[in-house]
Chains A and B, each alone.
Chain A
Amino acid sequence: MNLTLLFDVFLIAALLLVSWRLLGASDLFQATVLFISFGLFLSLAWIRLQAPDIALAEAAVGAGLAGVLLLGTFKGLEPEEDREGENLSSEACRLDPISPCPGRAHLLLAFTFVGSMTALLLLAVLDLPAEGDGLTLLVFQSLDRSGVEHPVTAVLLNFRFYDTWLELGVLVAAALSILCVRNRLDLRELRPSKVPDVMLRRLVMGLTPIMILVVVYLLWLGDHAPGGAFQAGVVLAAMLILLWFSGHASITSLSRILWLFSLIAGFAMMLLAAVITASWPEMRPLEFAEEWSGAIILAIEVAATLSIGVVLSSLAILSLGAVED
């Protein structure tokens, strides 16, 4: 028996089982909790498929941020009159009681649609050429001109710079639109809904220095090994959220100007790089000189880490903060 194959089969079985129960279970809290383990199994799959960068990001997002967001929102939605009941029925916390319940025809239609779509996808994947290097060779040929040694970082911050830039733009847009939804101008005076206790404060006091260390370590790893701005940013966000939950100073005590500045730092830094390279003689826009590209990428990474951390923690704090209006 081949052990790697056994591992694959177990992992895929777990993934499918978890996502089936996640979507099918009638208890909403069960689904919320299963979502956390879905992230865990996915990151095991990333390790198995030799994508450690993604496993790192998934570990931070799946185990930390997604759990916080979903559990916090679930707690906020939990119907108050049903608190004494042990199990929440799915009816009790339904959000859209005005639309009709899905009937058998609806389910059949959905099933047919999904079934044919999955079959089509399967055909498309089977049709993929069996061999091929994709872009691996191209990336490795130009790697020594990129200023970093790790191919994924090179793709993110040099070869496909536009993608990363616009992605930071998406993050800023998400933060600004959530401000609109919550009808606020900044994060100040948003508090967690319960008074923090001593135990939690001590715990967070102990964890914070380690987290700062991990953020710096991941950022430093970025240029030669799996790690970098994304992973470091997510850990930074987790740290800010923990600080906020325990009542320490966090981004909620920043002034509006400072908060906005850190929100757009990553995007602005990349814009600055674009403008400078565009106005430089004998260089095309976003083409970095080889001797400078390492330094430019490092500066952009630091700014992007700050922005990602601030945006993601603002998203969580804005959607979990006590509703006072």
Chain B
Amino acid sequence: MEKFYLGVACFLLATMIVGLVRVFVGPDQEDRLVAVQLFGTTGVAILLLLAEAFDASSVRNAALLFTLLAVLAVVAFVRSPGSLGEREE
């Protein structure tokens, strides 16, 4: 079963590498940010699988931190000055 989890984790890592293309080509800032958020979730899934595969419970805490702090970067992006939508508001 550990082998299986590790295999799924490898697969998810591969989808992340493919998804990097969206960050590279953009074109909008929002697109790139969305791609990174998707990586965040995929990363959490990988961490949970690795926690099972390596039998290390502290890895789950790292996953918890990732989900808890995922909002932070987007909030900084939306709340900071110089954003494009600001004028209409």
Contact = CB atoms under 8 A, between A and B. Distances in A.
**Most chain B C-beta atoms within 10 Å of own C-beta, residue among A47, A48, A80, A231:** A47
Given A14-B16, A52-B56, A59-B66, A221 B61 contact: yes
B20 A210 contact: no
Interface string B54-73: 10111101111110111111
Contact of A87 (B27, B43, B50, B63): B27
A245 interface: yes
A87 B80 CA distance: 18
Contacts of A210: 68
B48 to A, nearest CB: 11
A200 B75 contact: yes
B1 interface: no
A175 interface: no
A200 B76 CA distance: 11
A238 B69 contact: yes
B65 A7 contact: no
**Most chain B C-beta atoms within 10 Å of own C-beta, residue among A59, A75, A80, A238:** A59
Contacts of B70: 63
Contact of B72 (A43, A194, A238, A322): A238
Nearest to B31: A33
What range describes how many residues of A lie at the interface? 35 or more
A10 B59 contact: no
A83 interface: yes
Nearest to B63: A59
A105 B3 CA distance: 51
A37 interface: yes
Contact of A75 (B58, B62, B80): B80
Interface in B17-48: 17, 20, 23-24, 26-29, 32-33, 35-36, 39-40, 43, 46-47
A211 interface: yes
A39 to B, nearest CB: 10
Contact of A76 (B9, B26, B82): B82
Contacts of B77: 71, 75
B62 A52 contact: yes
A320 interface: yes
Interface stretch (A21-29, A118-126, A139-147): A21-29
A14 B13 contact: yes
Given A47-B50, A87-B27, A56 B65 contact: yes
Contacts of A68: 72-73, 75-76
Given A33-B32, A214-B68, A227-B61, A10 B13 contact: yes
A37 B39 contact: yes
B30 to A, nearest CB: 10
Interface in A25-54: 25, 27, 29-30, 33-34, 36-37, 40, 43-44, 47-48, 50, 52-53
Interface of B: 3, 6-7, 9-10, 13-14, 16-17, 20, 23-24, 26-29, 32-33, 35-36, 39-40, 43, 46-47, 50, 54, 56-59, 61-66, 68-73, 75-77, 79-84, 86
Interface of A: 3-4, 6-7, 10-11, 13-14, 17-18, 21, 25, 27, 29-30, 33-34, 36-37, 40, 43-44, 47-48, 50, 52-53, 55-56, 59-60, 63-65, 67-68, 71-72, 75-76, 78, 80, 83, 86-87, 192-194, 196, 200, 203, 207, 210-211, 214, 218, 221, 225-227, 231, 235, 238, 241-242, 245-246, 320, 322
Given A63-B65, A75-B81, A192-B79, 11 more contacts: A4-B6, A30-B23, A36-B73, A44-B43, A52-B56, A56-B65, A63-B73, A214-B68, A221-B58, A242-B71, A242-B75
8 contacts: A3-B6, A21-B20, A21-B23, A43-B43, A52-B59, A59-B69, A75-B76, A207-B68
